[in-house]
Structures are given as C-alpha cells and as structure tokens.
Structure 1
Amino acid sequence: MALQGSPRNTPLLANQRILWITALMALANVQYGFDAAVIASFQAMEGFLEIFGYPLPAPKKGYEIATTTQQLITSFLNVGTIVGVLFTGPFSRYFGRRPGIWAGSLLGFAGFGVQLGARSVAGLCVGRALVGASNAFFITFANSYLAESAPAHLRSVCSGVLGVTTSVGGLLGTVVPYVTKGVPGRLCYQIGLACLFVFPTAMSVGALFIPESPRWLLVRGHPEKAERSLALLRGHSSTHTQFREELTEMVHGINEEKALASSSPALVDMFRGTDLRRSLLCIGTVTSRAASGIWVFISYGTYFYKQAGIHDPFAMSMYNLSAAIVGAVAAVLCSHFLFGRRTMILFATAAAVLSMMAAAIGGTAAPGSDAAAKNFVAFSVIYNVLYGSFAGSVTWPISAEVVSSRLRVLTLSVATAVDYVLAWLTAFCSPYFINPAALNWGVKYCWLWAGSNALAFLFFWFLLPEMKGRSLEEIDEMFEKRVRTKYFSTYECDCTRVATQDEAKPAALHV
C-alpha cells in the first residue's frame, strides 16, 4: 500500500513542480472567492445601489437593494454554473483538462466584460451567468487535474489548497471594495470587477507550460504521452523504480477500469454497480457545502453583518476571512501530517452544527440586540475557521478521488450541478428570511442550517471511508471489491504489489 512510510512518500519540497502547478490551478478558486466577495460587498456600496437599487423614502437618505434584485444577482451565478457543468463532461471526453482551463478563461473574460458595462439588472445577470459557467469549468477541471496528477501522499495538500485559496480570494474581494467604496460613481465597483481579469489570464498562460493529465491520456489510449506527462510532473522527485511502479499501477488500473466498463452511456454507468456507491459519496460530499449554510455567508456575508447590527460590515468580513485563511492553512497541514479525511470532515461538520445552534440561540433569545449581534459575530468566525477551513481542505480531494478516472469529470459535474441547484435555492430564498422587508428572521435563520449540518454529519459517519494516502488505483480496487467503510484504512490492496512485481519484468512502456 502507498501509505505512511511508503518509499513513494517523497518529501514535500522535492515535489516543487507539482506544487507550482497546484498554485496555478488554485487561482481558479481565488477567482471564485474574489468574485463572490465583491458581489456581496457591492450590495452595501452607494455607487452600486444608485444604479441597481432604489432610493429610500424621505426622511431617510441613501439607497437600498430590493429582495428580487438580490435574488437575481446572486442566483444567476448559480444558474450559469449549473448550465456550465452540463458541458464539462462532454468537453472533457474529447479535449482534456488543460483545454478546459482555457474554455473557462474565455467564459470568464466574457462575463467580466458584460458586468463592467452593465447598467441594468438584466445585463448584470447575463454577466453573472457567464461567470458562473466559467466557475463550472475551473472548479471541475482544476480539481480533476490535481487529483489525477498529484502523488497519492500529497493529494490532500494539493487539492486542499483549493479550500485555502477560496478564502484568499474572498479576502482580496473584500479588501478591494473596502478601499474603493468611497470612489464616486460607478468606478467604486467597476475597479473590483476589472481586477477579476487577472486570474483567468494567469491560468491561461500558465496552462501552456504544464502537461496534460496522465490518467486522462491513458483513458484516451495514449500510453506514450501519458508516460511523458507523468515524467514531467514528477521531475526528479522520484527514483526510476518509483516512477516505473507508479506508471505500471496507473496502466493496470485504467485497463481494468476499461474492462469493467459497460457499453451503456457514462451517465448510466454512474448509477450502476459499484459506481453507484461512489457517485453518491461524491454528490453527498460536494453538496455538503450547500447543506452547511456557507452560501449564506458567501452570498450575503456583508449584508448579513449589516442587518445584524455590525458597525463596519466590510471590516468584519475581512477579519472573518483572515481568520479563515489561518485556519485553512492549519487544516491543510493537519490533513497531511495528522488526520485522515474522515476525521477532518466529521470534526468540521460537528463544529458547524454547534456554531449554527449557538448563533441561532442568541438571535432567538434577544433578537435585534447588541448582545445577539456580538454572539453572531463570534460564532460566525468560529464557523468559518472550523467548518470553512477543515471541511474546505478535504471536500475537494474526497470528491475527486472517490470516483473512477473514466467517470471523474462527469461525476464531479453532476455533483457540482446538484450543489449549485441547492446553492441557487439558498441564494433565492435567503433574502426572504433575512431581509427586514420580508420575514426578517435575521440570525434565527441559522436554526435551519444547524439541522442540515446534523444530517450531513450522519451521512459522513455511516458512509464515508478513509482514503488518506491511497493511490487512485487502490481506491478503485477497494470499491470494486466492495470493501466496507470501516475497513478501508487497513485493507491490503493487490494493485501495488502487482505493480512492484511487474516492474521487474521487461517493460511495455519506456521512460
């Protein structure tokens, strides 16, 4: 097994090439976090509200944003993502992971340009939908690429970085509007929108210098190209023997996967035989983000703090995100050195239950009071640090590694679509709960999320196996042999032993 202590567990710094690639792919989530944060911040900016809001009746001064407008601006991002993921599976089948990054960049450029020029809610919604489609390509292909290219013992670090960079993007997307909120006119929010062009530009250029995913190349029947790709990814981080064993294990795994594949469409295969279990785990893991209530903070964080009575909601969002980044870095280190995926996500989900309950209790006991506002602030920080960091560092690797190479992008696409349907419902319904002109629940809204997090905890407790340190081929073998959840961490796999034996034989592929 490729577990702790395996010769393949090369030092972190010896894998500098894959670490640089990880940093490049992580820009996908920097864009995602930045975009969500700037849009949330705009809803409390005068220059934005003058165009997309309505003036308050006398004697009040200033502007407010309508509930319907909030719903449209936020939910159209999710609609675009849902539509976008419908195309990621067919696109990947023929064009691979790197072209997926370029396609996401083109969609992003179009969406940012439309948003910059929009002077109506309709135009802004078109831009939001295009940005959502861009996010769909970035999220799916960046996560798939890292899962398929990183060494088994570094997969949690590489994929976990995606969780860190979401918070980094969110912090940057809060700082920029904080600095520009006093700029008169449309520039106060257009500056933040213009900054978004940086991320797809960097990813598009960087993708020119990285190899295609070796596992995708094997699935498509290009073993020589796969070998060259893996050699470029590993560089000098592994010995010739380690490289040969890893390559042979990949070849055996992909060949067995092809042999087991049916003639049915891939979408049907997702829900047949052992792939049904894997698809449900992937979908459950991805949608646990929506069940956690984190979309409320992403979409309405600044507005939520304002309604809770926070004096400076922009500054509060920055403090919160800064704490989340520190927590996310600590979580990635914990996932690499200390804990497994299962332990991390159970801890994070339990923390989310308790944080939401504590915030809701304060809002129920003293609604609208300063004490309730301070209580909400305290537990929102705890929630973002513990849930956002610890769950964010493991949901990315879990969702990508739990499914087979042949069905990875398709399953991630379906899971992301379901997640964003739920996110869209959250974005669409949340204003009715938190807006003073509607139900005006305020912090009491957290009761709902305490319950959904409790259901997610039970799902992970009974169904999620431990996959830390396992190669993707070992995970394939355990699912094919229907290994029970509690035995995953100790099961002895045959595929690594076979690869080691085959390495001593004349090789069918040449380095």
Structure 2
Amino acid sequence: MSSDQQRSVEMRAHWKSLLAMTLVSLSSFQYGLDFGIIGGLQAMVPFLQVYGYEDPTVPVGYNISSERQQLISSLMVLGSFISSSSAGFSASNPVQLRASLHTHWPVGSLIGTVVDNFAAKIPHRGAYIIPLGIIHIVPGILAIGLLFIPESPRWLAANGQTQKAERSLRWLRPQEWSVGEELGEMNAALKAERQLQAKVGYSELFRNPIDRRRTTVAVLTLTTQAASGAMFVIAFGTYFFEMANVGNAFENACILTGVGVAALLANSFIITRYGRRRRLMITGLLLCGLMQLIMAIVYTVEPGTQRSGKILVGLSVIYIVAYNGLIAPYAWVSGGELPSQRLRSRMLPLNGSSRQLRTWLTTFTAPYFINPEALNWGPKYGYIWAPSCVIAALWIYFFLPEVKGRSLEEIDEMFEARVPARKFASYRCTGQHAVVEKVETEHCEKA
C-alpha cells in the first residue's frame, strides 16, 4: 500500500477524531477571520462615516482616529487566546494526522478579506454590518458542535477521571483500536510529567547558563516575527493601501492575503525537504527589510502617485511571500525545538505569551505611524522596519543554532557542550549528552 493510500485509510478510520479536532480548530480559523474582517472595516467609507470623521485630505474622504484604531487592534489581539483552545485537544488526535490541521488561521484571514472586498461595494451601513454578522457564524457552530463531542481524554485523565477518559477515547478511536493500551501510555506520560513539573519551576529557565541560553534563544527566535513588521501589514493592510492611494485597496488586500496563504502552504512541502532554518530566516528577513526600505524610498520620492501605488502593491506581495514562506513557520519550528525537554512545559507558555505581547505592541503602535491624523508616515514606516529586519538577521547569524536533522538528544548534547551557534550544523555528537544531562538534573534537584 502506498503512503497516500495508507494516509487515506487512516483518515477514514479516525474520522471522529478528525471531526472533533477540526471543530475545535475553528477557533483558530475565527481568529484569522477576525483579523481579515476587522482590518478591512477601517477602510470602508460607511464604517468611517459612523465611527470616524470626514477628512477631505485623505483619498477616501473619511478617516478614523488613531486612538480608536489602537483600541480595536488591542481587543483583537486578546482573541489570540481563543485560538489556543485547540492546543489541548490536538493531543487527542493521532500524531500523523495533526499537521494538516494548522492552516485554519491564514485561510480564515483570506476569507475575511474576501468578504470585506465584496461588502465594501455596498453604499450603506450594510457594508460593515454584514461582515460583522458573518463573524458570529463560527462561534455559533462551535457552541452547538461542542455539545456533541467528548472532552479531551488527556484532560480527563490529568484530572483523575479515568473512566470518562476511556469513554472519550472509545468515541474518538476506531473500534479495533487498543484503547486500554493508549490510556495506559497516556497515564504513564502524565505521571512522569507531574513528577517533572513538581521539581521544575519557571526560575529553572534562567538558573544555569545552559538553560538560560536555550530560553533566550527560543524567545528571541519568535521575536523575529514581530521584528519583521509583518503584524502591521496583516492587521492594517487594507487601511494602509487605502491611505497610500494605491487604487482598489480591498482587491489588493485580497491578492496580498491570497499570495501569503499560498506561500505558507507551499512551505509545508519545503520545510521537510530543505528546512535550513538559519539560511531561510536570514534570507526572509533581508528580503522583508529590503522591500520595506524600497517602499519607504518610493513613497518619499513620489507620495500618492499611481506609479508608486503599483510599486507598493508589488513589493508588498514579495514581502508577504518572504514572511509567510521564510520567517513565520521557521520561527515557530525553532522556538519549539530549542527548549530543554526538562523545561519544555514551562518554556512553551512563556514563548506563547511573550509573542502575544510583541504582537500587541506592534499592532497598538502602528496606527500612530500610518494614520494621516498622527505622524502620517504611511509606507515611510518602512524606515523603522528595514533596520529592524537587518538586526534580526544578524542576530540569527550569530546566535540561532542550526538543528535541521538533529534529534532532541543531539540538541541537548550540543548545548551542554556549549557549541557556538554557527558550528551546530557541522558538530559531530559523541553520545555523552545523557550522562551530562543526568548530572545537571541531579545537581538542580539537590540545589
């Protein structure tokens, strides 16, 4: 049986598990939909007539205050915590089937942008009321659908409800599945996890130089997403195009988002075959920085002209391909690979929360720079993000280890040996990491 046929059989056998996971993962889809729709509303004339003010100096004749934009963007970022609800239930899904369920956010963002594109042509309040109504569809589906699927078996087992966990697994798995064996493995893993967490606190992330290095590198690797300036393009892309007078801002935003989704999907085939994190992320950051710099220069020389508008759209497309194809996925991968296994349960929440803080900071400050009533930089905002991209690329070159093709044990050994980041790719492991790690762990426990 070929691998494609085997995958098809697995998908059919685990249809209940996939159904449950897909339903819960709609929360991530909803987050993307929110970003796509809410970002476009700020460029709709009917919306601006109600929530903004008349301004004959801007291309559409109306504008919105930067303070109101900051409030909208801040509340949107709070929705990111909703998307994390799928994390717990993903543990219920077979490992080999999880990867296909993480494209919900970009697809949701694309659909939201397309909805805005069609709604923007409506000349009355329905232009923004219809998209806002569509936002409530997914929460309605979730509210009803969650009544018919069981609780996560891992959560039930972790809370001592073993019988309910077994019933949940029997509902999720095929009839011939060895539920008892899986439940036993789950309980053993949970027991080991509880024992480890009882001995490990958040202070352990920074207590010794090795763990401190791993924690710092993991957090700063995810920081490269914010350092590229992508969140202001994602959250305010349509408004950005509208104020820059580039033509049909909504159609251009659809093109930009669609190309970004295509780049993200294409990357799923590249990451397993090539996957050189350092090289790809450095290339992506330098491309993003170059595009931002050229956009800023063009808009400085020819602000608001038709030619500069076309150049702006073209450069934005290249920019989003570089970000979605070369930066975003590898930052997540590296941020997950680098933490110590002993501290992973503490490191991942820290990584996620710090990323949301950086996302909030970017989206909160962007209106102050691009809104005509404030600094009115528009595309000249790139003068800030271009050097930011270069600094991030230099940081990756000097500090981010290349761990492609390395096992978690090999990564542990290289960190224990204090191998410089640029030598990780060529370092030959000796297999002594287990002894060193055991000594370090015992030392920490005694301390």
Q: Which amino acid aligns with 1:67?
A: S
Verify: 1:267 aligned to 2:202, yes or no.
yes
Map of 1:43 onto structure 2: 42
Verify: 1:212 aligned to 2:157, yes or no.
no
Q: Which amino acid aligns with 2:235?
A: S
Map of 1:169 onto structure 2: 108
Alpha carbons 2:196, 2:342 under 8 Å: kept: no
> Do the aligned partners of residues 235 and 339 (structure 1) sit closer, same or farther apart at CA in structure 2, a change above 3 Å counting?
farther
Map of 1:451 onto structure 2: 387
SS across alignment from 1:309? coil
Please state how far the C-alpha of 1:425 moved relative to its aligned partner: 2.8
Please state how far the C-alpha of 1:490 moved relative to its aligned partner: 7.0
Name which of 127, 133, 136 aligns with 2:81: 136
Please state how far the C-alpha of 1:237 moved relative to its aligned partner: 12
> Do the aligned partners of residues 418 and 433 (structure 1) sit closer, same or farther apart at CA in structure 2, a change above 3 Å counting?
same
Map of 1:508 onto structure 2: none
> Do the aligned partners of residues 336 and 35 (structure 1) sit closer, same or farther apart at CA in structure 2, a change above 3 Å counting?
same
Map of 1:70 onto structure 2: 69
> Do the aligned partners of residues 252 and 281 (structure 1) sit closer, same or farther apart at CA in structure 2, a change above 3 Å counting?
farther
> Do the aligned partners of residues 332 and 202 (structure 1) sit closer, same or farther apart at CA in structure 2, a change above 3 Å counting?
farther
Please state how far the C-alpha of 1:313 moved relative to its aligned partner: 0.2
Aligned counterparts of 1:350 and 1:312: Cα–Cα separation in 2: 29
Map of 1:466 onto structure 2: 403
Map of 2:350 onto structure 1: 414
TM-score, normalization by structure 1? 0.67
Name which of 215, 220, 225 aligns with 1:289: 225
Taking only the aligned residue pairs, the percentage that are identical comes to 29
Aligned counterparts of 1:290 and 1:384: Cα–Cα separation in 2: 13
Q: Which amino acid aligns with 1:292?
A: S
Map of 1:186 onto structure 2: 125
Aligned counterparts of 1:65 and 1:298: Cα–Cα separation in 2: 18
Map of 2:251 onto structure 1: 315
Please state how far the C-alpha of 1:494 moved relative to its aligned partner: 9.7
Alpha carbons 1:295, 1:427 under 8 Å: kept: yes
Please state how far the C-alpha of 1:330 moved relative to its aligned partner: 0.6
Verify: 1:440 aligned to 2:376, yes or no.
yes
Alpha carbons 1:53, 1:64 under 8 Å: kept: yes
Please state how far the C-alpha of 1:15 moved relative to its aligned partner: 4.5
Alpha carbons 1:348, 1:386 under 8 Å: kept: yes
> Do the aligned partners of residues 343 and 412 (structure 1) sit closer, same or farther apart at CA in structure 2, a change above 3 Å counting?
same
What do the CA deviations read for 1:197-251 (whole angstroms, capped 9, x no partner)?
Answer: 233444552695477375x77877889998998898886999x9xx989997x88
> Do the aligned partners of residues 344 and 196 (structure 1) sit closer, same or farther apart at CA in structure 2, a change above 3 Å counting?
farther
Query: Matches of residues 244-255 of structure 1 in structure 2 within 5 Å?
Result: none
Alpha carbons 2:256, 2:320 under 8 Å: kept: yes
> Do the aligned partners of residues 416 and 406 (structure 1) sit closer, same or farther apart at CA in structure 2, a change above 3 Å counting?
same
Query: Matches of residues 70-149 of structure 1 in structure 2 within 5 Å?
Result: 70-78=69-77, 81=78, 132=79, 135-138=80-83, 140-143=84-87, 146=90
Q: Which amino acid aligns with 2:81?
A: A
> Do the aligned partners of residues 57 and 343 (structure 1) sit closer, same or farther apart at CA in structure 2, a change above 3 Å counting?
closer
What do the CA deviations read for 1:457-508 (whole angstroms, capped 9, x no partner)?
Answer: 23333224426685xx758955885674516997587999xxxxxxxxxxxx
Please state how far the C-alpha of 1:421 moved relative to its aligned partner: 2.9
Please state how far the C-alpha of 1:369 moved relative to its aligned partner: 3.4
Map of 2:445 onto structure 1: none
> Do the aligned partners of residues 475 and 298 (structure 1) sit closer, same or farther apart at CA in structure 2, a change above 3 Å counting?
farther
Name which of 370, 377, 380 aligns with 2:316: 380
> Do the aligned partners of residues 325 and 492 (structure 1) sit closer, same or farther apart at CA in structure 2, a change above 3 Å counting?
farther
What do the CA deviations read for 1:257-308 (whole angstroms, capped 9, x no partner)?
Answer: 66655646x3323333454344334422333222111111122111111122
Taking CA–CA contacts closer than 8 Å with sequence separation of 6 or more, which of the two structures ends up with the larger relative contact order? 1
> Do the aligned partners of residues 252 and 321 (structure 1) sit closer, same or farther apart at CA in structure 2, a change above 3 Å counting?
same
Alpha carbons 1:55, 1:63 under 8 Å: kept: yes
Greater shift, 487-496 or 384-393, is seen at 487-496
Cα RMSD for the two superposed structures: 4.5
Greater shift, 377-386 or 52-61, is seen at 52-61
> Do the aligned partners of residues 75 and 247 (structure 1) sit closer, same or farther apart at CA in structure 2, a change above 3 Å counting?
same
TM-score, normalization by structure 2? 0.75
Alpha carbons 1:10, 1:237 under 8 Å: kept: no
Q: Which amino acid aligns with 2:86?
A: A
What do the CA deviations read for 1:137-190 (whole angstroms, capped 9, x no partner)?
Answer: 42x343465479663x777x34xx53x433211211111122222445433212
> Do the aligned partners of residues 376 and 148 (structure 1) sit closer, same or farther apart at CA in structure 2, a change above 3 Å counting?
farther
Greater shift, 412-421 or 217-226, is seen at 217-226
> Do the aligned partners of residues 366 and 48 (structure 1) sit closer, same or farther apart at CA in structure 2, a change above 3 Å counting?
closer
Q: Which amino acid aligns with 2:207?
A: R
Please state how far the C-alpha of 1:41 moved relative to its aligned partner: 1.0
- Residue ranges of structure 2 left out of the alignment (5+ in a row): 435-447
Alpha carbons 2:205, 2:215 under 8 Å: kept: yes
Verify: 1:356 aligned to 2:292, yes or no.
yes
Aligned counterparts of 2:218 and 2:94: Cα–Cα separation in 1: 19
> Do the aligned partners of residues 272 and 193 (structure 1) sit closer, same or farther apart at CA in structure 2, a change above 3 Å counting?
farther
Aligned counterparts of 1:207 and 1:269: Cα–Cα separation in 2: 40
SS across alignment from 1:336? coil
Please state how far the C-alpha of 1:317 moved relative to its aligned partner: 0.4
SS across alignment from 2:203? helix
Please state how far the C-alpha of 1:13 moved relative to its aligned partner: 4.2
> Do the aligned partners of residues 231 and 491 (structure 1) sit closer, same or farther apart at CA in structure 2, a change above 3 Å counting?
farther
